[in-house]
Amino acid sequence: MTTWKNGLDCCSWDGVTCDNVTGNIIGLDLSYSCLQGTLRSNSSLFALRHLQSLNLASNNFYTSPILPELSVFAELRHLNLSYSNFSGLVLVEISFLSKLVLLDLSWNNKHDYMLWEQSLKIENTAFKILVQNLTELRELNLDFIDMSAISLNSFVNLSSSLTFFSAANCILQGELPPNIFSLPNFLDLNLDSNDFTISFPKSNWSKSLESLTLLSTSISSKIPYSIGEFKNLKTLDLRNCTLIGSIPSSLVNLTKLTNLDLSRNELAGHIPSFFVKLEQLMDVDLSFNNFTIELNLMYNSMNHTFLKLENFWPCLVCNLIEFPPFLNSLKMLRRLYLSENKIGGQILRWFWDVGKDTLQSLDISSNLIEGGIQQFPWKELIYVDLSDNLFQGPLPIPPLHIVIFKANDNGFNGEIPSSVCKLSSLLYLKLARNNLSGPIPQCLGNLANLWGLDLSANKFEGTFPRSLDNGASLTSINVSYNRINDTFPKWLLETPSLHVIALQFNEFQGQIDPQTILFVPFKLLFFFISNNNLGGQWPEEYFLHCLNLVTLDLSNNRFEGPLPIPPPATHIYFSANNKIGGKVSPLICNATELILLDLSNNSLIGTLPECLMSFSKDLLVLNLRMNMIHNVIPRKFAEDSKLRTIDLSRNRFEGTLPRSLLHCENLEVLNLGNNRMKDTFPNWLGTLPKLQVLVLRSNMFHGFMSSPREARSFSELHIFDLSNNNLSGPLQIRYIMIYYEAHCHDESGQKTKQAALYERCIDLSCNHFGGELLGDIGNLKSLKGLKFSHNKLTGCIPLSTGNLTELEWLDLSSNKFTGRIPQELADLTQFNTFKSDSFAENPGLCGFPLSETCTNNSQEIPPVTIL
């Protein structure tokens, strides 16, 4: 619009077209003009009554509505309002523009960090009138308009003049009428990513159709044989349509086909050899299906065929065990993707000639390819993915124009050659999980365009290259799991473009002083510096300025001072195993998106803020173990709590358990051990349906412990630890037995479930339990650990303990057992691994491994008592 100046004829302005006879403005193209603001009804635009073409695309009208005043343009033939941030309803007044040939209202949607939402909406009545009145319409683009209220039967009335119709991502629902495929002048139909189902017509396809895109719609059937009637088709995109069956032979009739995408379906059978007859094909994607490929048949048929093929995707996830020989005939190939197969051995010599002068993208990742690579012969190569193979030897250097290079998850060794630093176009370099060693080259800072660097899980040593500070484009840097020995590179936090900083598991050391860091990394998403030797203090509110921070991991260092508070957007926050002190600030409750919170093994003191048990609706793990927090556990757990693990062990909590724990219906682990809690045994926890680990050891729980009240109490329990309390009454093993009976055996005694995540063990030691150890304990055949020491148990050790064949540790010491230690127990394979004092301090007990031998007067073991 720089030519729009007073004193000049407006017909000479850029974007303005005038009638040669009348001088009236008949065309206005303001696309990509950086226009911003609200479009108002009194705009001078609406004075241009003779307009035949209006293009306002790719501007920003700040969610202005599409105004009814547009109907004043009675002569309008072309109207383009796409990509301009309009919102609200598409009004009936648009249908008054009866001479329209082109109408584009697409992509007026809100989008923010992978969230896309339709801003424009059209109601059913308005759409019906629109398709009835706009009879001259040839091109209609409604992508990303909310059409959820539209009856698909309205499509029957689409203009017979229509050549192009696109309604992608429009929330269309129902069953699409087959008539839409029969419009006589149709050239291009795009209905991708909607919620409707499609039943292809058996015949009467529109013979003119050149492009059909139905990706991510629900067809859920075979590709119909009648697809072969689309003889003018150049593009067919049916990916992710839940297609089943095989590829119909009629596809051979589509001799004009240049682009074919049937990927991500459930298609099966052989990739048919008739593909060699589709000589115009340039782009083929049959990946992520269940195909097999007839290598020899295709190879024998493919002399001088596919001469135009540029993109070859058919062999992703095809169970190939070798490079298809017919690739040797693809002289024009630009993109080759063979990832996620089982191709083994070394790369054959002929493979290096495939698309030798044209190949730009090569993906052979996730195979079993061995050997080394000396150099790449493809001069045009800009994308290479060698990841997840068995390559060895020195790191190969790609051509100078390479943009993305991935060689991670292999066995490459040695140092990174300095010639890598000459790859001036390189944007992303991923060499993670190899055996690379030596220093990280200082010259990597010469790669001015580099935005991603991943050197993690190698054997790099030395210092961290300060030269990377030159990378103004750098958004992600990962050197974790190496041996880098350096002070903390504080300049990383002063690099405004960085989204990811991953330095964990190295040997970074020294004090971090955030006061000396000049800038706050506002764009930071992930910050990992755990498992180093870093010290210093982070100001409590430092990370609150990193508004987009998703993961913050400071754990396993030597940080001191107050607990840094994460911003509201954070999902994962670890600061475990430091020396952080002071109280937990209530500000942490503003981090309402937290999923994992681990503050364990610090020096936190004081009372927990009451909000801590209910501040995040998505919190799964809360770990505060090994601090010095005191007073009672906050009483209010959220009613819709998703907590799976609560570990408050080794603190100084007092009082009783809050009954609101019953709101945590997903709870699997509850560890309150080594505190000062004073309560009776919480039988009521037995109603938590997923509880697998209950540890209440070393508290002051007291009183008579009764049997489970309900048959399904503690029905998932694996680990049951009540040791070092003041509980009394008969020994209760029933809590573990309930799980065993419910899950481990069916009527025939066979195992019905896989081994559980937690091995089963019981520790009721150091209490006041009395009575006899009953014979049912022998039914716990998968028990790994059993500790009943320091109680008042009497009687004989049951013979059935010999059934505990999985037992790895046992302690029955310091009780009042009498009689002979059962030979069946002594015969267990792992019996000799039990501690020698496992039966000590039972004055009436005799037999191996005790020194007391049994006499004829030793008490006989009574018959098994049944609970």
* Alpha carbon 787 to chain centroid, angstroms: 42
Overall number of domains in the chain: 1
Query: pTM for this structure?
Result: 0.78
Most confident of 199-213, 345-359, 415-429, 833-847: 415-429
Closest CA to 44 of 77, 4, 83: 4
Cβ burial 57-86 (10 Å sphere, 16+ → b, else e)? bbbebeebbbbeebbbbeebbbbbbbbbbb
pLDDT-wise least confident of 269-278, 404-413, 472-481, 543-552: 269-278
Residue 761 located in a structural domain: no
Q: What is the pLDDT of residues 725-767, one digit of tens each?
A: 999 998 866 666 665 555 554 434 444 343 456 778 999 999 9
For residues 370, 376, 381 and 383, what is the CA-based torsion angle, rounded to 10 degrees?
A: 30
Decide: 404 and 423 in contact? Cβ < 8 Å. no
pLDDT-wise least confident of 174-178, 351-355, 374-378, 627-631: 174-178
> For the chain, what is the mean pLDDT?
88
pLDDT, mean of residues 71-89: 93
Gap between the Cα atoms of 573 and 577, Å rounded: 13
Q: How confident is the model at residue 162 (pLDDT cuts 50, 70, 90)?
A: very high
Q: Give pLDDT, residue 696.
A: 98
* Res. 298: pLDDT tops 90: no
Q: Give pLDDT, residue 299.
A: 44
* Res. 5: pLDDT tops 70: no
Q: What is the pLDDT of residues 816-852, one digit of tens each?
A: 999 999 988 888 888 887 877 899 999 999 988 888 8
| E strand or H helix at 133 | helix 124-133
Q: Give burial (CB, 10 Å; 0-12/13-18/19+) of 683.
A: middle
Q: What is the pLDDT of residues 661-686, one digit of tens each?
A: 999 999 999 999 999 999 999 999 99
Closest CA to 132 of 105, 149, 153, 118: 153
Q: Give pLDDT, residue 751.
A: 43
Q: What is the pLDDT of residues 771-805, one digit of tens each?
A: 998 888 888 888 899 999 999 999 999 999 999 98
Q: Give pLDDT, residue 573.
A: 98
Residue 64 located in a structural domain: yes
Q: Give pLDDT, residue 300.
A: 44
Percent of the chain exceeding pLDDT 90 equals: 61
Residue 133 located in a structural domain: yes
Q: Which structural domain, as residue segments, surrounds residue 90? A: 1-176
* Higher pLDDT, residue 440 or 740: 440
Closest CA to 784 of 848, 844, 718, 839: 718
Q: Considering only the C-alpha atoms of the chain, give the largest distance between any 2 of them, rounded to a whole number of Å.
A: 130
Q: Give pLDDT, residue 115.
A: 44
Q: Give pLDDT, residue 106.
A: 93
Residue 655 located in a structural domain: no
Residue 40 located in a structural domain: yes
Angle made by CA atoms 218, 221, 227, in degrees to the nearest 5: 100
Decide: 506 and 479 in contact? Cβ < 8 Å. yes
Gap between the Cα atoms of 224 and 744, Å rounded: 49
pLDDT, mean of residues 403-413: 98
Residue 165 located in a structural domain: yes
CATH number at residue 4: 3.80.10.10
Gap between the Cα atoms of 855 and 846, Å rounded: 9
Cβ burial 261-290 (10 Å sphere, 16+ → b, else e)? bbbbbebeeebbbebbebeebbbbbbbbbe
Residue 298 located in a structural domain: no
Q: How confident is the model at residue 116 (pLDDT cuts 50, 70, 90)?
A: low
* Res. 21: pLDDT tops 70: yes
Residue 330 located in a structural domain: no
Gap between the Cα atoms of 585 and 563, Å rounded: 8
**How far apart, in Å, are the Cα atoms of 282 and each of 223, 285, 317, 362, 506?**
21, 10, 21, 16, 48
Angle made by CA atoms 485, 491, 495, in degrees to the nearest 5: 130
Decide: 122 and 145 in contact? Cβ < 8 Å. yes
Q: How confident is the model at residue 198 (pLDDT cuts 50, 70, 90)?
A: confident
Q: Give pLDDT, residue 112.
A: 44
| E strand or H helix at 295 | helix 295-301
Q: Give pLDDT, residue 746.
A: 43
* Res. 142: pLDDT tops 90: yes
Q: Give pLDDT, residue 117.
A: 66
Q: Give pLDDT, residue 747.
A: 39
Question: Phi, psi at residue 528, to the nearest 5°?
Answer: -120, 115
Q: Give pLDDT, residue 225.
A: 87
Closest CA to 223 of 275, 261, 168, 174: 261
